[in-house]
Chains A and B, each alone.
Chain A
């Protein structure tokens, strides 16, 4: 891939050509058979050789949950930490070691419930992290309670009469938290998933990738409408930067701006309105359209779900600036001198 990202240049490259096998650890994968996590793992392991970084300079950090077992299966450095804290731990690692490519693997409960605070702050700081948020809209590891992305009224073990709380929209939340890179993809679409990973890896700063992931035990088929070939044509909107936002079997539907509200809406494409179809601009400095896109899907049916890179803008990266401050301090004050520091400006000498 082309090295457009300067920060990626700080990470040593692999000396020899790598294969997917190089990134598989010797650990037995222990997810439930049929879990969507397998597909994501295979996609990441398959993408890593393309990225071409020395695998000892790649680190996966996770929290707690089914998806957080991910690092054990990657033959890189890894830390399976504690619930919700992976973005904080990864921030410390990434901000102290710019020669590393640091990835966070998290789930909807880990990232948005117990770890919500760390996620939003990582995003606003724009630390050089790639965050893969596996969203299955359920708690899997604790055996089936509703999650902060579950639809209202979800019947689960902890909500026998239906859940009451309105869900988060992870991408709206991320954009609201000043995220510089926000994308969505689907576990079963290897090609799309890989293209999003590629864009995320190439982004300087925090990249948040929401991966719709099927939990076949506790929430099976949650994203079926986006996967079923017939339904998907009308449900999935594939965003591509610089292209008009069209979908449907014949690209017969499109997204336009509603002149009355400024919001986005879907229309049947006609000769009259073709010129008004929105052209996707992932690099738009304003987050307004990306935010509207993040909320375009019908929360109940998931119809009109945009996938792809919603937003990708460059802004200062926390760890770069932190390193620059250290350099500036040395330039202006000289390299730290312990003896001078201790002596201070106000001391006295006692002679024997």
Chain B
């Protein structure tokens, strides 16, 4: 997910049916008699699925780390229930992790897995619908006994009743093999069994020629205090590898070459959206030369940012776990008054609770970052699933006219840059700023080109240090609401600055002096001025990727970038011209947006909501923008989106 929209790799991308066929096709890389065959693939989509207690997220993370260090491009989709441990073996308890990796630039975690690892009947049942015929399925046969199967409604074993005939099924007694491999360790059956995810990881690592050193080092570090458990896991991992190497069932292994053409020179690492966002915030504090202050209340899927920032106190980062969402933003705003780069992190329900304080920040005109990792709503909704339905809440969800700038990252790694951009706007214009990420970006990951420190933007601000206004009688005074004529930002005078003592509050204030004012004309002026300040924020023009004669524009924002771009590639590969543009800034919109929209006969807006951006576009630009919506808690699939866009073009 690293290259530009019009990458040369686009023609080959995301054609999953061709790929499954490709996997089964004879390969020129046959290594000869006596040795196992190795086939070369350009990309693979693997899904690990099991019970919530089976460690599927960890397994996926490790496979991802191995894949990243091998140099493939990759994109991931963790998918797990909100319950920490739903009843074992049930459908609601299924947790999965999908990973797409390739020798070229890819944009999404993939529509359909080529390989499904199903640790139990529930995992098979919950995921089989997404698996295309001909794909490989590795099942843990030990779990396919009567009770676990009955729990999910299998009357007969799907491994025996022919229902999986269309797939290439590998029945593996993962539990038994793991226990057998660990019998020297003197662990209880239950303890030994817990390493079965590492056995599966070892097997898959063999199948796809993944490097193993990283995982072994990881396990030894993770269980440093329990060396026996560490060695058991390493042993299970190696046993899985060796099982692949020796057993006849796995006759073929696959190579996916590093995506060396995709990546510009540089140093890379794998990064999730929430981690990139955390790093972006720390970097913003450094670049602004201000202490970073996070006031936050734990909420899925934003809590990881609180966890991450809490680890970096040596950067002068203060993290405050508040008693509630309101106190989280309240403390942040208090810190902003004191001169910190202040942040609050939350998800949709938390934004609702913070609304009044965001309004206060609008009135106080202090810099404040409000990070909303969107999830399914309304109300508690789908805590662990993704959605983009907080756009209008961010845009309008406050009493009074309370404009707040909005920025949205488009990929996990882009969360880093979006955090810096949000900080730039907040600090330059002295305003709260929304950053709208979502569950898919937060937990998904991709390679990130590590920036050089001297490439980072300069975000330094100047606090007010002296008086800024002369009264009629010649007295020099400090006016907290006397604005910069360019940005309309007011001065930021922090407590401790002599001579600038002043009072600010949520009551309307007199332009300039900041004193309480109920004057009608002044209120009208202040409302319009606050709006003008936000409207005047400098944001880059919208770039359009148009191959030429396109008459349809697909316009997106936020995390739909990957699927939309993948869909656009498919259409272009099939000879359909279509233009694409993606919004980073949603308030204010780029200056040229209206002009861009009018260039096209049709504008299609895919969103994971019921058409919130489309509503804004239609209202502001009087353009007949058409929505394509999905609110099922999952990102768009490229194929489905391509079909929808094709229909829009043809309509």
The chain A residues found within 8 Å of chain B, CB to CB, are 12, 25, 27, 54-59, 61, 71-72, 74-82, 85, 88-97, 99-100, 117-118, 121, 322, 325-326, 328-330, 332-336, 338-339, 341-344, 346-352
Contacts and interface: CB of A to CB of B under 8 A. Distances in A.
Contact of A346 (B269, B315, B338): B269
Contact of B318 (A74, A77, A78, A326): A326
A322 B320 CA distance: 9
B227 interface: no
A64 to B, nearest CB: 8
B267 A55 contact: no
Nearest to A80: B505
B435 to A, nearest CB: 19
A70 B333 CA distance: 20
Nearest to B329: A88
B282 interface: yes
Contacts of A91: 320, 327, 330-331, 334
Given A97-B495, A118-B323, A329-B314, 11 more contacts: A81-B333, A81-B505, A85-B330, A88-B334, A92-B332, A322-B320, A336-B282, A346-B214, A346-B269, A349-B266, A350-B265
Contacts of B505: 71-72, 78-81
A255 B359 CA distance: 50
Given A81-B360, A88-B330, A88-B331, A71 B340 contact: no
Interface string B434-458: 0000000000000000110100000
A91 B322 CA distance: 10
Given A77-B495, A350-B260, A118 B69 contact: no
A125 to B, nearest CB: 9
Interface of B: 65, 68-69, 71, 214, 260, 263-270, 279, 282-283, 286, 291, 293, 295, 312-318, 320, 322-324, 326-327, 330-340, 342, 356-357, 359-360, 364, 450-451, 453, 495-507, 515-516
Given A80-B503, A121-B327, A350-B71, A93 B337 contact: yes
A12 B71 CA distance: 55
A352 B264 contact: yes
B327 A56 contact: no
Contacts of B500: 56
Contacts of A55: 501
Given A97-B496, A335-B314, A79 B332 contact: no
Contact of B342 (A92, A100, A329): A92
Given A117-B323, A121-B323, A347-B269, A99 B263 contact: no
B269 A343 contact: yes
Contacts of B320: 91-92, 95, 322
A227 B74 CA distance: 76
B282 A346 contact: no
Contacts, number: 204
Contact of A77 (B331, B360, B450, B501): B501
B495 A350 contact: no
B155 to A, nearest CB: 46
Contact of B326 (A72, A88, A346, A349): A88
Contacts of A79: 334, 337, 364, 503-505
A74 B453 CA distance: 44
Contacts of A93: 334-335, 337-338, 495
B313 A329 contact: yes
A78 B69 CA distance: 53
Nearest to B261: A350
